Amino acid sequence: MASNGNGEFTFANGNGTAAVANGNGTARNGLAKIQTQKKGNGMCHDDSTPPVKAQTIDELHSLQKKKSAPTTPIKGTQGGAFAITLSEVERQKQQLQSISASLASLTRETGPKVVRGDPAKQSETPKVSSHVSHHHHFTPTISVSDSALKFTHVLYNLSPAELYEQAIKYEKGSFITSTGALATLSGAKTGRSPRDKRVVKDDTTEDELWWGRGSPNIEMDEHTFMVNRERAVDYLNSLDKVFVNDQFLNWDPENRIKVRIVSARAYHSLYMHNMCIRPTPEELENFGTPDFTIYNAGQFPCNRYTHYMTSSTSIDLNLARREMVILGTMYAGEMKKGLFSVMHYLMPKRQILSLHSGCNMGKDGDVALFFGLSGTGKTTLSTDHNRYLIGDDEHCWTENGVSNIEGGCYAKCIDLSGEKEPDIWNAIKFGAVLENIVFDEHTREVDYSDKSVTENTRAAYPIEYIPNAKIPCVGPHPKNVILLACDAFGVLPPVSKLNLAQTMYHFISGYTALVAGTEDGIKEPTATFSACFGAAFIMLHPTKYAAMLADKMLKHGATGWLVNTGWSGGSYGSGKRIKLPYTRRIIDAIHDGSLLNAKYKKTEVFGLEIPTEVEGVPSEILDPVNTWSDKDAHNETLLKLAGLFKRNFETFTNYKIGKDNKLTEEILAAGPNF
């Protein structure tokens, strides 16, 4: 991104030429404004949750703390100075100019000037003068707009300690827990809002991206994006201070992406400090212009009467401008997953496969990928004391091997305990962020079982807080690709060995089953399908990622596995969940290679290869039909689930892979047959 001096920014596009975008809704290359109609579509909601039922911030704040005696008064604090020297200002001059360009409103002559440091800790208020100030680099004139006389202080790449100070002092609902983590509130939205996410549809993205039924990509035109961008930038410019993070994505140095996050909250800055890769002082000094910029104005709503808007929340991606705008939600996960969507677009262009998966490595260098939706055990099974953790959620598979996209972990905290998840439990210390949890007001001890604010409580911490994390977070080519499903219908085997076509079929399907309990009793299990185990974040058609996965597995000799962590002996309510020690034994047998040498037999309907025995696992549970007392009920449930698979896959049957479409036919044949 580069400014051409007249309020326009240029970006290099994929063919090496430059495209120029301006603020009037029409690009220089003559793109017409796109008129569309809103369409409903089915999407994976993952961590999306209902809004908190609180009318005021005080009501929301009251949910956060459990009353106990004695109460702890909240006292104000006195701050020192974020002192900087003249030499540091000069050294940061290029960065500040780049930040100033990021903050400038492109449809106006100019925007506020940026100053480094906290306005509350400046020795004196900047005065408007005709002389150039070495702190501010400006010369006001009579003709400029009022915004040119406004100062926006930039708190640039602050340390966790500095961000703690900012959060505790200025952000209501921020506290330090007994273990030293920063507890905070995300506001009314405690999960993602996938139906409020928009992507600019232009001549390029119209052909490249996945649109229509089942797709997470809801379109908007560039003019509407610019309206929302203007609103976000105006809001950020109106503040006395903003937080700016310059960080990296992807531990692979050849394919690293520079990102800039401009936000209004210390909580957001600390969250991204943890989740992205933290640059060294030398890397920061030479950071230059970012490849992608987020304007997080989530405290300010979008205008609901703007075209394409369906609520006061909007998360907008413009891939041509390489920008993201957030309005109307302070849930930090929107930034993480927005950047993941960007990587799902940029990396395949480089023939790199982006993956929503966990990843670990054995002491002999054998790498395993873990795919799975919420509740399948992806985090639990990929975090193994006997193996090195490469990452828990987002990865790239390049020609050199695998690399983690992120610099941290974002773990669910509901019912967290030190016995079940010791690594995550111990990682929640100073520097970690705890979202929407409830704690004792006096002791500040967190009650992880309390769902008063939301069930989607979260912890964000740097990956080095995990003792066996592999730093740098890279590894060789995967040996095993493990697809996890929590089958509440109770008819999938605990483990199946997949051929290549079956791996693609189940990867595209992305199946798990949810169980909903109500006061009136237990509801039927609900099948959930999320393409590529992350439909809410993928940008291209799922079959493109599946074809890349199959190609890399074939090239590097990886084996596909389907592991059911759900029910056995009946559906939820009658059967029992497969014991975690049994699943761990199965995973261990996959890692050490012994499961490859087992004897196999094929199941009916799904045609899955299941082992006849696994050391440490009762043989009778390996074939689900053995554990059901009512065999007719088993067969009926099996056919029901197979029908759900077939119905879901109809979305993808009209997309051809390869010139002769032979691969598409092979994938379809790998599904259930009845």
State yes or no: is 393 an active-site residue. yes
**Alpha-carbon gap, residue 604 to 592, rounded angstroms:** 28
Element (H, E) at 549: helix 542-556
Task: Go through 381-398 and write b for each residue having 16 or more CB atoms within 10 A of its CB, e for each that does not.
Answer: bbbbeebbbbbbbbbbbb
What is the SS3 assignment for 240-276?
A: CEEEEEEEEECCCHHHCEEEEEEECCHHHHHHHHHHC
Residue 459, both tokens: 């912890």
**Alpha-carbon gap, residue 406 to 398, rounded angstroms:** 15
Taking each helix axis from N to C terminus, what angle separates 333-349 and 542-556, rounded to the nearest 10 degrees?
60
Average pLDDT of 27-44? 40
Q: Are 518 and 578 in contact (CB under 8 A)?
A: no
State yes or no: is 374 an active-site residue. yes
| Bond before 70 cis per omega within 30 degrees | yes
State yes or no: is 378 an active-site residue. yes
DSSP state of 277: B
| Catalytic option among 205, 354, 379, 559 | 379
Residue-by-residue DSSP string for 469-480: B-SS-EES-EEE
| Catalytic option among 273, 337, 344, 506 | 337
- Which of residues 332 and 380 earns the better pLDDT score? 332
State yes or no: is 45 an active-site residue. no
State yes or no: is 555 an active-site residue. no
Which of the four pLDDT bands, split at 50, 70 and 90, describes residue 598? very high
Average pLDDT of 320-344? 97
| Res. 13: pLDDT tops 60 | no
Q: Mind listing the pLDDT tens digit for each residue in 107-129?
A: 666 667 788 888 887 654 444 33
Cα R_g (the chain), whole angstroms: 26
State yes or no: is 458 an active-site residue. yes
| Res. 499: pLDDT tops 90 | yes
Residue-by-residue DSSP string for 155-203: EES--HHHHHHHHHHHSTT-EE-TTS-EEE---S--S--GGGEEEE--H
| Catalytic option among 192, 241, 321, 541 | 192
**Alpha-carbon gap, residue 308 to 487, rounded angstroms:** 37
| Residue 594 backbone dihedrals phi, psi, to 5 degrees | -70, -30
Q: Mind listing the pLDDT tens digit for each residue in 457-481?
A: 999 999 999 999 999 999 999 999 9
Residue 349, both tokens: 């262009």
| Catalytic option among 458, 479, 506, 552 | 458
| Res. 198: pLDDT tops 70 | yes
| Res. 4: pLDDT tops 70 | no
Q: Are 556 and 365 in contact (CB under 8 A)?
A: no
Q: Are 545 and 481 in contact (CB under 8 A)?
A: no
- Which of residues 145 and 437 earns the better pLDDT score? 437
Q: Mind listing the pLDDT tens digit for each residue in 553-580?
A: 999 999 999 999 999 999 998 999 999 9
- 199: which strand partners? 219, 317
Task: Compute how many other C-beta atoms are within 10 angstroms of the C-beta atom of residue 39.
Answer: 11
459: helix, strand or coil: strand
| Catalytic option among 197, 268, 356, 591 | 356
| Catalytic option among 393, 477, 487, 503 | 393
| Res. 47: pLDDT tops 50 | yes
| Catalytic option among 197, 378, 395, 552 | 378
* Amino acid 16: pLDDT: 40
Lowest pLDDT segment from 48-62, 316-330, 349-363: 48-62
- Which of residues 214 and 672 earns the better pLDDT score? 672
| Res. 192: pLDDT tops 70 | yes
**Alpha-carbon gap, residue 485 to 564, rounded angstroms:** 5
State yes or no: is 321 an active-site residue. no
650: helix, strand or coil: helix
Lowest pLDDT segment from 291-295, 511-515, 552-556: 511-515
Average pLDDT of 399-413? 96
DSSP state of 534: -
| Catalytic option among 110, 306, 311, 374 | 374
Element (H, E) at 631: helix 631-649
DSSP state of 430: T
Which of the four pLDDT bands, split at 50, 70 and 90, describes residue 46? low
Lowest pLDDT segment from 52-61, 166-175, 320-329: 52-61
State yes or no: is 356 an active-site residue. yes
Task: Go through 416-450 and write b for each residue having 16 or more CB atoms within 10 A of its CB, e for each that does not.
Answer: beeeebebbbebbeebbbbbbbbbbbeebebebeb
* Amino acid 66: pLDDT: 75
Q: Are 624 and 490 in contact (CB under 8 A)?
A: yes
* Amino acid 291: pLDDT: 95
